[in-house]
């Protein structure tokens, strides 16, 4: 039986204090889009485990991929060694991403992928004997991860990392509009190593969407002012926005691409950084090497299940599924606007957001959602869902109905 008192005192949860003042719910198993909680209650996971479990849980094809690989080896260091799962996955990623991205570096989390990308950009300019380009340009409300380098390119004023303001490297931030971008590039291009951007959708910084023309302008400005473009598609990659990668909304290609989350279908932690050959060639121009190498880089189990997850996604009618999810989210969330507590609703692909006018009492909201058979993880003023792509219409309707209920009751 779940000992909540012991857990509260000893186990540290994400973005939480210890002892943890908020309730946590023990999951005993997961299958399809359902989580089974301690005591037997089933809830629909509207978060797909922080946007990663795009095929749902306990997926036969993904289980099989891990079981098959496990019989050969669970892990082997990637320093001086290689293995077939890494090579197979690298080839697949190169095949499905823009044609200029030909080199793959495997990391072990999204934050580490961003760290690696930043180091690549800095070493690229070092290799070109340019010691002035040491700054990064990012959006206000940007979120790129929780490690120190990644935090430094998150909005220092409007993000969860404001506590570290003054302790992190100082970079440049601009709202996602064309005029401010043009001004920032004109004023700062000589010191800019790269712009780091979440294409089309800003995730944990506010679940904000911006126009494809802004992304297209960023690519144009990077070329005009000789600045690298790093696309952080950790949250948006693998179909979440309705395109396989969100950069496709503006038909642009980055110099460096970061992938994670849904890469393994939510099974294991793995990330990848893909680069244009000019990046690796620039780094080694002075005989240098990329100074990064995680212990669990290219873990064979993770690579095997990632390859299986991508194959499963591409073999499905994923575009039609996501278009259907988008349509149902728009229909289901529109009535939320009738509540005077709601500021806005936003839907794109398999992302549905209800923004409240005031911050929510999260524990009370979550308890209400659990009672309605739904698991969501709201934060601040945002009540949102990013479900698995395999969700059925009636299950999605249950999620939107529960979200509507939260906007219209005193919870």
Q: How many domains does the chain have?
A: 2
Q: In which region does residue 344 sit, left (phi positive, over 0), alpha (psi from -120 to 50) or beta (all else)?
A: beta
- Domain annotation covers residue 67: no
| Containing structural domain, residue 304 | 73-315
Q: Which of 276, 297, 315 is the last residue of a domain?
A: 315
Same-domain check for residues 36 and 79: no
- 85-119, pLDDT tens digit by residue? 999 999 999 999 999 999 999 999 999 999 999 99
Query: How crowded is the C-beta side of 71, counted as CA atoms within 13 Å?
Result: 5
Same-domain check for residues 396 and 353: yes
Per-residue pLDDT of the chain (411 residues; tens, 9 = 90+): 577 889 999 999 998 999 988 899 999 999 999 999 999 999 999 999 999 999 999 999 999 999 999 999 999 999 999 999 999 999 999 999 999 999 999 999 999 999 999 999 999 999 999 999 999 999 999 999 999 999 999 998 876 777 787 888 899 999 999 999 999 999 999 999 999 999 999 999 999 999 999 999 999 999 999 999 999 999 999 999 999 999 999 999 999 999 999 999 999 999 999 999 999 999 987 778 998 999 999 999 999 999 999 999 999 999 999 999 999 999 999 999 999 999 999 999 999 999 999 999 999 999 999 999 999 999 999 999 999 999 999 999 999 999 999 998 765
Do β-strands 271-275 and 103-107 pair in parallel, antiparallel, or remain unpaired? antiparallel
CB atoms < 10 A from the CB of 382, how many? 19
- Domain annotation covers residue 54: yes
Burial of 23 (0-12, 13-18, 19+ CB in 10 A): exposed
Same-domain check for residues 329 and 308: no
Same-domain check for residues 82 and 14: no
The dihedral over CA atoms of 203, 182, 193, 234, expressed in degrees to the nearest 10, equals 20
**H or E element, residue 393:** helix 393-408
Strands of 233-313 (E only): list them: 256-259, 271-275
Same-domain check for residues 47 and 98: no
- Asked if 345 contacts 355 with a C-beta cutoff of 8 angstroms, the reply is yes
Q: What are phi and psi of 203, to 5 degrees?
A: -85, -100
Alpha carbons 169 and 276: distance in angstroms, whole number: 26
The answer, yes or no, to whether the previous bond of 322 is cis (omega within 30 of 0) is no
The dihedral over CA atoms of 175, 178, 179, 183, expressed in degrees to the nearest 10, equals 80
What angle is formed at CA 215 by the lines to CA 109 and CA 282, rounded to 5 degrees? 60
Strands of 237-315 (E only): list them: 256-259, 271-275
Q: What is the pLDDT of residue 410?
A: 61
Question: Which tokens is 239 given?
Answer: 């179909």
**H or E element, residue 319:** helix 318-333
Alpha carbons 370 and 279: distance in angstroms, whole number: 48
Q: Which of 270, 289, 315 is the last residue of a domain?
A: 315
Q: What CATH number does residue 328 fall under?
A: 3.90.1150.10
Residues identified as active-site: 15, 143, 232, 261
Q: Which of 315, 350, 367 is the last residue of a domain?
A: 315
Q: What CATH number does residue 263 fall under?
A: 3.40.640.10
Q: What is the pLDDT of residue 73?
A: 98
Alpha carbons 59 and 153: distance in angstroms, whole number: 36
Count helices and strands in the chain by DSSP H and E runs: 13, 16
Alpha carbons 17 and 22: distance in angstroms, whole number: 9
């Amino acid at each position: 039986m779940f000992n909540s008192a012991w857990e509260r005192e000893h186990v540290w949860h994400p973005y939480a204090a210890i002892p943890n003042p908020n309730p946590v719910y023990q999951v005993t198993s997961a299958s399809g889009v359902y989580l089974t909680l301690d005591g037997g209650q089933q809830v629909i996971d509207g978060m797909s485990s922080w946007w990663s479990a795009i095929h749902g849980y306990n997926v036969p094809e993904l289980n099989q991929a891990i079981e098959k690989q496990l019989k050969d080896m669970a892990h082997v260091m990637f320093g001086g060694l290689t293995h077939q799962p890494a090579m197979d996955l690298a080839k697949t990623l190169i095949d499905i991403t823009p044609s200029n991205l030909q080199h793959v570096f495997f990391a072990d989390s999204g934050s580490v992928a961003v760290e690696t990308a930043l180091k690549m950009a800095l070493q690229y300019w070092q290799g070109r004997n340019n010691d002035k380009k040491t700054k990064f340009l990012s959006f206000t409300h940007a979120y790129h991860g929780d490690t120190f380098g990644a935090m430094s390119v998150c909005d220092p004023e409007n993000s969860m990392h404001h506590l570290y303001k003054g302790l992190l490297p100082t970079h440049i931030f601009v709202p996602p509009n064309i005029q401010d971008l043009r001004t920032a590039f004109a004023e700062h291009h000589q010191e800019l190593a790269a712009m780091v951007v979440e294409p089309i959708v800003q995730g944990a910084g506010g679940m904000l969407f911006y126009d494809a023309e802004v992304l297209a302008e960023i690519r144009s400005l990077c070329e005009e002012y000789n600045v690298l473009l790093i696309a952080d598609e950790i949250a948006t990659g693998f179909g979440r926005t309705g395109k396989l990668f969100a950069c496709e909304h503006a038909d642009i290609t980055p110099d460096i691409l970061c992938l994670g989350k849904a890469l393994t279908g939510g099974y294991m932690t793995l990330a990848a950084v893909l680069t244009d050959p000019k990046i690796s060639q620039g780094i080694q121009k002075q005989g240098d090497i990329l100074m990064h190498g995680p212990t669990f880089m290219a873990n064979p189990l993770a690579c095997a299940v990632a390859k299986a997850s991508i194959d499963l996604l591409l073999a499905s009618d994923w575009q039609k599924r996501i278009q259907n999810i988008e349509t149902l989210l728009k229909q289901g969330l529109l009535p939320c606007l009738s509540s005077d507590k709601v500021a806005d609703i936003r839907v794109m692909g398999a992302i549905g957001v209800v923004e409240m006018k005031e911050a929510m009492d999260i524990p009370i909201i979550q308890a209400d959602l659990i009672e309605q058979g739904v698991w969501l993880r709201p934060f601040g003023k945002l009540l949102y869902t990013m479900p698995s792509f395999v969700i059925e219409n009636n299950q999605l309707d249950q999620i939107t109905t529960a979200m509507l209920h939260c906007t219209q009751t005193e919870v």
